[in-house]
Chains A and B, each alone.
Chain A
Amino acid sequence: MGGAFSQLVMLGSSGMLVTALIVLWRKGVPAYITAYRWQSWLLAALTATVGYYGDGQLYWVAGLLLGLKGVAIPALLRTMQRRFGTEREAAPYVNTEVSLLIASVLVVFAYLLGRPWMAVTQLPTRQGLPLAMSVLFVSLFIIVSRKKAITQVIGFLMLENAIALLAVVGTFGVPFLVEFGVFLDALMGFLVMQIFIYHIHDTFDTLDVDALARLRH
């Protein structure tokens, strides 16, 4: 039982890492949205499998994950993307090759960081921990390096996914009340960011964050 379960978990979390890398690799916002949708679906599936092996409450969590992050948020992202019609990502600070290189360095760093944890826990899903950390660092890198406001929002959402993954893999899911609170925050955070993107578009008529550099010193 343990082997297949941990294999599945490994598969799921590495899948999420791959979707994060897609954002670094591709250049179009629609591609980022699909990457994010895939990542949320994988996370929901992973939570369900852990629920199957762990306690049953995680099914509800998986369902909530699927509904909110798998369907609702990508749809809102889609409408926003279509409305602002921003096809191509402006030239990011770091070109694709270098970003992927940095991503690999970050993954190695996550593994280095995760090494002491392996000794600590006997959970079958412990293989997923370093992966969760690497997804976290990669999404941080996305937020820092990409110029479009929408891409930064997607980076932030992927960061939320990474932490949810960490929770699921590390502790078989935090208590339900906390899970519900985190969902609420993620949703409200996203909604507020969406409102702000409309604000930015109205006042700056560009979503390029470099324009937001008037407040200095």
Chain B
Amino acid sequence: MAFGTVALLVMAAGYTLGAVLSLVARSDRAARVLTAVGAVVGGAGGLAAAVSVLATRVSVDAVLPTVVSAAGGIVIRLDPLGAFFLALITAVSLPAAVYGTTYMAEYDGRCSLRVFGLMFNAFLLGMSVVPCAANIFTFVMAWELMAVSSYFLVMTESEHSETRQAGLWYAAMTHLGLVLLLPMFFLIAAGHEATAFVDLRAYGATLTAGTRTAVFLLALTAFGSKAGIVPLHVWLPRAHPAAPSHVSALMSGVMIKLGIYGLIRVLFDLLGGGPAWWGGVLLAVGSVSALLGVLYALVEHDLKRLLAYHSVENIGIILIGLGAGSLLHSVGLRALAVIGWTGALFHTLNHACFKGLLFLGAGSVKQQTHTGNMEELGGLITRMPQTALYFLVGSAAIAALPPLNGFASEWLVFQSLLAGAHISRPEIAAGFPIAVGMLALTSGLAAACFVKAFGISFLAMPRSDHAAQARECHWSMRAMMLVLAGGCVVLGLAAPWVARGMSRIIDGVPGLSAGEPIPPSSSLWLTVPNSSAQVSPLLLAVLLGAITVAVLGAIHAGGLRVRRADTWGCGRISQTPRMEYTASAFAEPLRRVFAEVYQPTQDLSINMHPESRYFIQSITYTSHVVPWFEQVFYDPVIRTARGLAAQTRRLQAGSLHLYLLYVVAALVAALACAWWFQ
């Protein structure tokens, strides 16, 4: 059998063995180790399969028809696009699995690690099979397996009531995804027997415009609810903080990318692209998601919830890339469209890398300080130097600062938006500058947000004794963070080479390819076809390094004398942590600027001193920012459901006569229907 098929078998075997062995492990420690072993073996298999497909660009096929043949059987096909996503999954799941072994040590005895091991490997298996699925049943089966197992992972700390609440939201939203997925696939395969993707491509071409629009809307909502675009993202900031950190790293870094994979596979591969307004919708949804994601991240003070909102922002950026690409493609500028798609795919890979890193960092902080609230952290850089460094690298990367990987992919997305200038029809071209404005505002706010996140959590003095007693985490956890941080730096510096690989993958997908061969691009500069704009992260890094070394040498040559003293405080005697700036204070100016978006609820209560009216005993001011779209979109739905339920309950009123009346009424109705349709 081909190497790829063997690797896929190793992957499947690794995950299933990991799941089964950890279920029957004797002790908690053994369960943790077996979980990691299964995940690593499976991940290695998956990575090998993906790399072999990416290198040789030959798809790997495997079919198990005997299984559930009535519904179409299990059919596997790993093509370059699927291989890219499989590589992305395994690249993050390997470090996360190793990180998890020591991270879960604090759960020993508190929750069943055997079930956790089973669900963790099932989750990885589900995620890895989604990009390889080649017919409707396998895709939907893997999709739901991933959803079910990740639900149980979110519920590991089920003793807290907000975790249960988060679990319920998560289960409902992912099931909404499935409920929309089924009709979408069936609309494409309408009437025909075969359900393999190969046939769906043929049927896709013959669909009427109306069905294609219906499929587009269903796909956008189904995959959007998994990816977390704005109106459908409500589960993301609830579920990710509730899960153990290395699981939220996988969920936030990798699982939501399968929503992006689904969009590309259905819209551009099965349907082969669509009219211009599809791109417009993607662009609009992407920009809104990006902006609202970062805005709500700014006012968030729980570290993991902040990172979850940032996933919404980065998914928005990816969608902007996809939207720009498809708009340019539909207008005919296919070569320019490739920049957009390359930017989107590159940002998917980058986000998986730095989001995974940030969540692992947050996990170490949470393990040591037992709290995620930034207002109680501080001064961790001296106590956890390596974690702080890796968190800083992650923050710089996510804020798109050169020379790291975030900058390269956002530069490509910006260039694709600039390419909008070449569009002749003004009504389409008008949207691009607005998207540029929103994207720039998003990256500015992201930088501000991560200054807050890193600055308040790691710098200055610890604000609580938890933070004061924090020690550096286990070496294996730090090693895994180093791997991901290294990934961010290497992806940043080798951006031109990676971008070329991306454009070759895009060329493989019929709906995306530019038709003519890819122009050769240098391996030092990120370039844009027919525009001489270029940037070389490597060269920038070298220049920066050179200047820093030169200046450092000059200063030390001149004899640098350093004296440690107290921070200057306008004549204050001692510096206490209470005087430090807090997270809410840091975000307060921006909260005031964007007050209309936040609609903050404020209440001020002043209670007077009991003896006399003139002396104030205490003033309490509380202000909350509750996402308004939950009131606008979700509360009405829940209220109607409960209202209908109340009505139906009244149906069962307890009186036997009423019940018999129902039977007679039904009889009369049926007879009338029979008489009517004579």
Contact = CB atoms under 8 A, between A and B. Distances in A.
Q: Do chains A and B touch in the complex (CB under 8 A)?
A: yes
A15 to B, nearest CB: 25
A20 interface: no
B308 to A, nearest CB: 38
Contacts of A113: 671, 675
Interface stretch (B3-11, B312-320, B519-527, B655-663): B655-663
B664 A144 contact: yes
Contact of A143 (B649, B654, B660): B660
Contact of A209 (B649, B653, B657, B678): B657
A213 B652 CA distance: 10
A54 to B, nearest CB: 29
B654 A215 contact: yes
Interface residues of B, number: 14
Interface of B: 649, 652-657, 660-661, 664, 667, 671, 675, 678
Interface string A201-217: 00000000110111111
Interface string A142-169: 0111010000000000000000000000
A213 B664 contact: no
A68 interface: no
Interface residues of A, number: 17
A184 B335 CA distance: 84
A187 interface: no
Contact of A144 (B652, B653, B657, B671): B657
Contacts of A144: 657, 660-661, 664
B654 A213 contact: yes
A212 B659 CA distance: 12
B653 A213 contact: yes
A80 interface: no
Nearest to A209: B656
Interface in A165-217: 209-210, 212-217
Given A113-B671, A113-B675, A216 B654 contact: yes
Contacts of A116: 678
Contact of A145 (B649, B652, B657, B671): B657
Given A113-B675, A144-B661, A217 B655 contact: no
Contacts of A212: 654, 656
30 contacts: A93-B657, A113-B671, A113-B675, A116-B678, A140-B660, A140-B664, A140-B667, A141-B664, A144-B657, A144-B660, A144-B661, A144-B664, A145-B657, A147-B657, A209-B656, A210-B655, A212-B654, A212-B656, A213-B653, A213-B654, A213-B655, A213-B656, A214-B654, A215-B654, A216-B649, A216-B652, A216-B653, A216-B654, A217-B649, A217-B652
Contacts, number: 33
Contacts of B678: 116
A215 B678 CA distance: 41
Nearest to B667: A140
Contacts of B656: 209, 212-213
A172 B660 CA distance: 31
A209 B660 CA distance: 12
Interface hub of B649, B653, B664, B671 (most chain A Cβ within 10 A): B664
Given A140-B660, A141-B664, A145-B657, 12 more contacts: A113-B671, A113-B675, A140-B667, A143-B660, A147-B657, A209-B655, A209-B656, A209-B657, A213-B654, A213-B655, A216-B653, A217-B649
A80 B667 CA distance: 32
Contacts of B657: 93, 144-145, 147, 209
Contacts of A216: 649, 652-654
A39 B657 CA distance: 24
A204 B310 CA distance: 64
By secondary structure, the B interface counts as helix
A116 B674 CA distance: 12
A93 B491 CA distance: 81
Contacts of B667: 140
A140 B665 CA distance: 11
A77 B399 CA distance: 88
A215 B658 CA distance: 13
A107 to B, nearest CB: 15
Most chain A CB within a 10 A radius of its CB, from B652, B656, B661, B664: B656
Contacts of B654: 212-216
Q: Can you list the 3 inter-chain pairs with the closest CB atoms, starting with the nearest?
A: A213-B654, A217-B649, A216-B654
A148 B653 CA distance: 19
A96 to B, nearest CB: 17
Contacts of A147: 657
Nearest to A216: B654
Contacts of B655: 209-210, 213
A113 B673 CA distance: 12
A185 B667 CA distance: 23
Contacts of A93: 657
Contacts of B664: 140-141, 144
Contacts of A141: 664
A141 B668 CA distance: 12
B201 to A, nearest CB: 51
Nearest to A210: B655
Interface string A60-87: 0000000000000000000000000000
B661 to A, nearest CB: 5
Interface in A85-116: 93, 113, 116
Nearest to B668: A109
A88 B135 CA distance: 71
Nearest to B678: A116
Contacts of B675: 113
A143 B654 CA distance: 16
A14 B591 CA distance: 85
B153 to A, nearest CB: 35
Nearest to B655: A213
A28 to B, nearest CB: 20
B346 to A, nearest CB: 56
Contacts of A210: 655
A94 to B, nearest CB: 10
A209 B659 CA distance: 12
A216 B651 CA distance: 9
A216 B656 CA distance: 11
A143 B661 CA distance: 9
A186 to B, nearest CB: 19
B658 to A, nearest CB: 9
Nearest to A112: B675
A93 B658 CA distance: 11
B659 to A, nearest CB: 9
A215 B649 CA distance: 12
Contacts of A213: 653-656
Contacts of A145: 657
Contacts of B652: 216-217
A144 B668 CA distance: 14
Nearest to A116: B678
A140 B664 CA distance: 8
A9 B661 CA distance: 31
Contacts of A209: 655-657
A175 B329 CA distance: 77
Interface core residue of A143, A144, A147, A209 (most chain B CB under 10 Å):
A144
Contacts of B653: 213, 216
Contacts of A143: 660
Contacts of B649: 216-217
A212 B654 CA distance: 7
Nearest to A214: B654
A210 B667 CA distance: 24
A145 B656 CA distance: 10
Interface string A12-37: 00000000000000000000000000
Nearest to A93: B657
A162 to B, nearest CB: 14
B324 to A, nearest CB: 54
